[in-house]
């Protein structure tokens, strides 16, 4: 009998009861705006910032409206101006070059390796072209951050980390977001903690974070940010920084705080599911699984593999065959953008130069969400289905 998977690739776990209770308390008192507090009260947004700074080991944290806003805010804080160039990954999602374009700058794309990491040799060659790198830890794959930081420091290039897929992850024991000048996180539904939309920004640099707090819409109420720099860092900047409002509200912060406390346990659950998939796909004919460096402590909320050098028609066949059996694979190699699977050649506003070596890899990337609503048995079944369909199509090509 042919196995059919019946689970949903978009159904997340419910908000934990502690988050529901906290959200209800906010709605009952009605003080959703982060600066609307009564005497002696600390807002949920301010509490989340303190807790997130502690969780990441950062000196400062700021809760904002989205991960995209966090990136744009970080770029502005680093004084990226219209007409500037900013380096970023070829393999990323549209909000990353979108954030660069939103401040009037132009993305310059850096290649991707078969391990789905930023190509550090290509980065080294392109470092003279910009003074900022927006590094995307795309789909949770973390490159050799020791080498990257050393290269960027030597070239005087500021690193901003897009950690939308690496909350709770680390490289060589250092939490994601702590290697660069600023780290940007997302709390959108498909990320590691869920408020529908939302973002967080961390930094150890007091002047950069003071700029970010003011830009986020503090209306000079920066003293209500308990994870912000000391008041003296705001004294001059408060006259210079524009208000680009993008604050997180107390309702979302209340939902997030219990989830942040549960994150280490959730990370283990994701990685258990990833391990079952990895074991089930190991050695499959025609497929390239992605190795992980032992220095990388990752959070496996999605799964990727390569159908490297396959024809477009054969990849479409795999996608269709898996979908007929209930398994939803997303393909980054399609000629036209579909849902979130756009790639650098689709972002015409960036006027990208062709990158044939990266195109070869991008055209073979298969991507799959890994929600915690899946059981370990679900993941084993998914692996069996993918393996069987890939091998059938691969063997048909070989004939």
**105-133 per-position pLDDT tens digit:** 999 999 999 999 999 999 999 999 999 99
Q: What is the pLDDT of residues 36-78, one digit of tens each?
A: 999 999 999 999 999 999 999 999 999 999 999 999 999 999 9
Q: Determine, yes or no, domain membership for 4.
A: no
Cα 237 to Cα 211: distance, rounded to the nearest angstrom: 7
% residues pLDDT > 70 (the chain): 99
Q: Are residues 208 and 296 in the same domain?
A: no
H helix intervals, 216-249: none
Domain boundary at 257, 276, 309, which?
Answer: 257
What is the percent of the chain with per-residue pLDDT over 90, rounded to a whole number? 96
How do residues 369-393 score in pLDDT, each as one tens digit?
999 999 999 999 999 999 999 999 9
pLDDT at position 25, please?
A: 97
User: What is the pLDDT averaged over residues 145-173?
Assistant: 98
63 inside domain:
yes
The pairing of beta strand 365-369 with beta strand 330-331: antiparallel
Residue 125 forms part of a structural domain:
yes
Distance from C-alpha of 88 to C-alpha of 308, rounded to nearest angstrom: 23
Q: Of 213, 233, 257, which closes a domain?
A: 257
Tell which of 257, 287, 312 closes a domain.
257
Question: Mean per-residue pLDDT for 242-262?
Answer: 97
Which residues are CB-neighbours of 254 under 8 A, at least 6 positions away?
Answer: 19, 22, 23, 25, 26, 44
176 in a structural domain? yes
Q: How far apart are CA 135 and CA 112, in angstroms?
A: 12
- Residue 154 CB partners (closer than 8 Å, separation 6+): none
DSSP letter for 180, please: S
Q: Which of 1-10, 16-25, 144-153, 193-202 has the lowest mean pLDDT?
A: 1-10
Instruction: Please state the length of the chain.
Output: 399
pLDDT of residue 399: 64
355 pLDDT tier (thresholds 50, 70, 90): very high
Do 268 and 249 lie in one domain? The reply is no
Give the tokens for residue 322. 């898996």
Is 2 part of a structural domain of the chain? no
Does 272 lie in the same domain as 231? no
If asked whether residues 181 and 123 sit together in one domain, one would say yes
- For residue 1, tell me if it sits in a domain: no
CA distance 229 to 60: 7
Closest CA to 99 of 66, 62, 63: 66
Domain assignment of residue 348, given as a range:
263-398
Range with the poorest average pLDDT among 8-22, 287-301, 331-345: 331-345
Rounded to an integer, what distance in angstroms lies between the CA atom of residue 106 and that of residue 9?
34
Q: In this structure, are residues 381 and 5 in contact, taking their beta carbons and an 8 Å threshold? A: yes
Number of H helices, E strands in the chain: 11, 14
Q: Do the domain assignments include residue 336?
A: yes
List of E strands, 234-356 = 288-289, 296-297, 302-306, 330-331
Strand partners, 300: none
Selection from 123, 397, 173, 181 nearest residue 297 by Cα: 173
At residue 29, the pLDDT reads 97
Phi/psi of residue 191, nearest 5 degrees? -100, -165
- Counting the structural domains of the chain, the total is 2
Closest CA to 99 of 347, 301, 337: 347
Indicate the pTM of the whole model.
0.97
CATH of the domain at 61: 3.40.640.10
3-state DSSP call for residue 260? helix
């Amino acid at each position: 009998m042919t196995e059919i998977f019946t689970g949903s690739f978009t159904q997340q776990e419910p908000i934990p009861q502690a988050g529901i209770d906290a959200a209800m308390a906010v709605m009952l008192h009605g003080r959703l705006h982060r600066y609307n507090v009564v005497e002696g009260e600390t807002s949920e947004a301010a509490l989340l910032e303190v807790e997130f700074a502690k969780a990441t080991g950062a000196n400062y944290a700021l809760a904002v409206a989205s991960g995209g806003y966090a990136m744009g805010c970080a770029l502005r804080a680093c004084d990226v101006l219209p007409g500037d160039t900013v380096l970023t990954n070829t393999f990323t999602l549209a909000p990353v070059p979108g954030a660069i374009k939103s401040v009037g700058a132009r993305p310059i794309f850096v290649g991707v390796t078969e391990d789905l990491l930023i190509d550090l040799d290509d980065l080294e060659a392109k470092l003279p072209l910009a003074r900022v790198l927006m590094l995307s830890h795309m789909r949770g794959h973390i490159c050799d951050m020791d080498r990257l930081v050393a290269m960027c420091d030597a070239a005087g290039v500021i690193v901003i980390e897009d950690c939308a897929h690496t909350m709770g992850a680390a490289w060589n024991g250092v939490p994601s977001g702590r290697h660069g000048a600023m780290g940007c996180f997302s709390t959108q539904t498909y990320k590691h903690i869920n408020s529908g939309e939302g973002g967080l920004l961390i930094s150890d640099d007091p002047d950069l974070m003071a700029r970010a707090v003011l830009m986020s819409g503090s209306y000079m109420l920066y003293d209500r940010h308990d994870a912000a720099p000391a008041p003296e860092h705001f004294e001059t900047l408060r006259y210079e920084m524009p208000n680009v409002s993008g604050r997180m509200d107390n309702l979302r912060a209340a939902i997030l705080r219990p989830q942040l406390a549960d994150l280490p346990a959730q990370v283990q659950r994701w990685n258990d599911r990833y391990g079952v998939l990895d074991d089930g796909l190991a050695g499959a004919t025609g497929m390239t699984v992605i190795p992980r460096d032992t220095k990388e402590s990752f959070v496996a909320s999605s799964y990727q593999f390569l159908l490297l050098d396959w024809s477009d028609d054969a990849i479409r066949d795999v996608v269709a065959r898996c979908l007929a059996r209930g398994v939803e694979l997303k393909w980054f190699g399609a000629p036209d953008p579909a849902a979130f699977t756009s790639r650098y050649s689709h972002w015409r506003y960036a006027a990208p130069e062709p990158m044939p070596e990266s195109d070869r890899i991008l055209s073979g990337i298969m991507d799959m969400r890994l929600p915690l609503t899946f059981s370990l048995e679900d993941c084993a079944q998914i692996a069996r289905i993918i393996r069987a369909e890939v091998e059938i199509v691969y063997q048909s090509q070989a004939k």
